[in-house]
A and B are shown apart, each in its own frame.
Chain A
Amino acid sequence: MKQMLPPNAKISKEAKETMQECVSEFISFVTAEASDRCHKEKRKTVNGDDICWALGTLGFDDYAEPMRRYLHKYREVEGDRSASDGQNTRSSNFGTGDGQMLFDDMDRNNPSTSTRY
Chain B
Amino acid sequence: MLVGGVSGRTGPHSLPLARIKRIMKRSSDDVRMISAEAPVVFSKACEHLIGVLVRRAWAAALRRKRRTLLKEDVAAAVANTDVFDFLVQVVQQQPK
Q: Which residues of A contact B (CB under 8 A)?
A: 1, 3-6, 8-12, 14-15, 17-19, 21-32, 34-36, 38-39, 44-48, 50-52, 55, 58-60, 62-63, 66-67, 70-71, 74-75, 78, 91-97, 99-100, 103, 106, 112-113
Residue pairs across A and B with Cβ atoms less than 8 A apart, 14 shown, are: A1-B54, A5-B54, A31-B24, A32-B28, A35-B27, A45-B33, A45-B34, A46-B31, A46-B35, A66-B48, A74-B37, A91-B4, A93-B14, A95-B3
Known: A15-B70, A63-B45. 17 other contacts (CB 8 A): A4-B54, A4-B58, A9-B69, A18-B74, A24-B23, A26-B49, A30-B42, A31-B28, A36-B28, A46-B38, A66-B48, A67-B41, A93-B14, A95-B17, A96-B4, A96-B6, A97-B11
List chain A residues, Cβ under 8 A from B75.
18
Contact A27 to B42, CB < 8 A, known contacts A4-B54, A14-B71, A22-B53: yes
Q: In the complex, A70→B90 CA distance in Å?
A: 29
Verify A60–B83 contact, CB threshold 8 A: yes
Residue positions of B touching A, CB distance < 8 A: 3-7, 10-15, 17, 20, 23-24, 26-28, 30-35, 37-38, 40-46, 48-51, 53-55, 57-58, 67-71, 73-75, 78, 82-84, 86-87, 90-91, 93, 95
